[in-house]
Amino acid sequence: MPPLIEVRNLRVYFPVKRGLFSKPLYVKAVDGVSISIGKGEVLTLVGESGCGKTTLGKAIVGLVRPTDGEILYKGKNILKLKGRDFLEYRRNVQIVHQDPYASLNPTKTVFQILSAPLKRWGIARTRDEIVERICKLLQLVGLTPPEDFLNKYPHQLSGGQRQRVVIARAVSVNPELIVADEPITMIDVSLRLGILNLMLDLREKLGTAYVFITHDFGAARYFSARGGGRIAVMYLGKIVEVGSAEDVIRDPQHPYTKVLLSAVPVPDPEESRKRKVIQLKSLDIPSPINPPPGCRFHTRCPFAMSICEKEEPPMVEVKPGHWAACWLYAKR
């Protein structure tokens, strides 16, 4: 049985506007990524801002058209889907955007926002059915009593409440996969854990798979570990390490992952003093327009060798279920 979503050698390039007679340049946001997501699975994408994780998520949802490669939904290329198959894909793959302030129409009430997908997909037809369904959705995402929220506009809600409405809209059509793009970044710190728990509870109740996108390793560990999922680390458009949450956090293999984890603050002062922060060769991040040859991390990697500057490392299974793209483990 094929995975729910399979990404094969995906590339997404964005053209850079230049002079009429200049050679065209491209931002290589996603450059040769292959990954799969099983039914009900949690996959967390972690990386610095600008590494391509959001672009990858939007490509999976169908909001960005790939330059090359394939995205397969239940074994079918989404770029070739037509008619009923395309509608099935559009309904079953939803997205939760990073900014709940921008992802809700400010001129629509909560009732109007949530009723639109119900009407579009014929989930509820009469007004009574729609009201009943929306009340259940609001209760599901913790907005109670639901009657207090039906006629409110987005500006009358807090950031956490808005994000819960966005999540309710995503789950209203019973999707098989939700791409959650930095869903807690724009929310007050005190509310973030509640949103994460909400999404995980919905996964247990509805069996929804998640692609959880974040730059926060703490959130990545919590979400993936509780969901029993995997973490994929991205750098400059490529995935450099993939494994279970505990394996990647406790025993990182790729130097980039080790650097990221060494920079995560530790609340215990004694433990913090003992930790050894890995020093980078350079603090400058290479341009995605002209990425370095070979391993893209070699210009900053403290363990870089001569081969790293010339050849791109293959993805190697360092231990069962734990993969890393690094010449420290690959056969030369």
Burial call 98-115: b when 16+ CB within 10 Å, e when fewer = bbbeebbeeeebbbebbb
pLDDT of residue 151: 95
Mean local confidence (pLDDT), 266-280: 70
74-78, 98-102, 253-257: the lowest-pLDDT one: 98-102
- pLDDT, mean over the chain: 91
Q: Evaluate whether 88 touches 62 at the Cβ level (below 8 Å).
A: no
Q: Evaluate whether 316 touches 323 at the Cβ level (below 8 Å).
A: yes
Look up residue 22 and give its DSSP letter: S
* pLDDT band (50, 70, 90) for residue 21: confident
**pLDDT tens-digit series, residues 182-211:** 999 888 877 888 899 999 999 999 999 999
User: The CATH number of the domain where 56 resides is what?
Assistant: 3.40.50.300
pLDDT of residue 271: 66
Mean local confidence (pLDDT), 76-91: 92
CA 306 to chain centre: 33
Going 155 to 159 to 165 to 167, the CA torsion angle's sign is positive
Q: Look at residue 125 and tell me whether its pLDDT is greater than 80.
A: yes
- Do the domain assignments include residue 121? no
- For 101, 114, 168, 171, 179, the CA distances from 138, given in Å and listed in that order, are 18, 9, 7, 11, 20
**pLDDT tens-digit series, residues 232-249:** 999 999 999 999 998 999
- Do the domain assignments include residue 53? yes
Split into its structural domains, the chain has a count of 1
Q: Evaluate whether 166 touches 100 at the Cβ level (below 8 Å).
A: yes
- Do the domain assignments include residue 114? no
pLDDT of residue 274: 67
- Do the domain assignments include residue 271? yes
Q: Look at residue 117 and tell me whether its pLDDT is greater than 90.
A: yes
28-42, 103-117, 142-156, 261-275: the lowest-pLDDT one: 261-275
* Owning domain of residue 308: 5-107+153-325
* pLDDT band (50, 70, 90) for residue 142: very high
* pLDDT band (50, 70, 90) for residue 282: confident
- Do the domain assignments include residue 244? yes
Q: Look at residue 52 and tell me whether its pLDDT is greater than 90.
A: yes
Phi and psi of 54, rounded to 5°?
A: -65, -40
- Do the domain assignments include residue 89? yes
- Do the domain assignments include residue 311? yes
Mean local confidence (pLDDT), 142-163: 94
Q: Look at residue 115 and tell me whether its pLDDT is greater than 80.
A: yes
- Do the domain assignments include residue 136? no
Kind plus residue range of the DSSP H or E element containing 191? helix 189-206
Q: Look at residue 113 and tell me whether its pLDDT is greater than 90.
A: yes
d(CA 33, CA 22): 29
Residue 41 three-state SS: coil
Q: Can you spell out the DSSP letters for 252-298?
A: --SHHHHHHHHTS--S-HHHHHH--PPPPS--PPPPSSSPPSSSTTT
d(CA 322, CA 212): 19
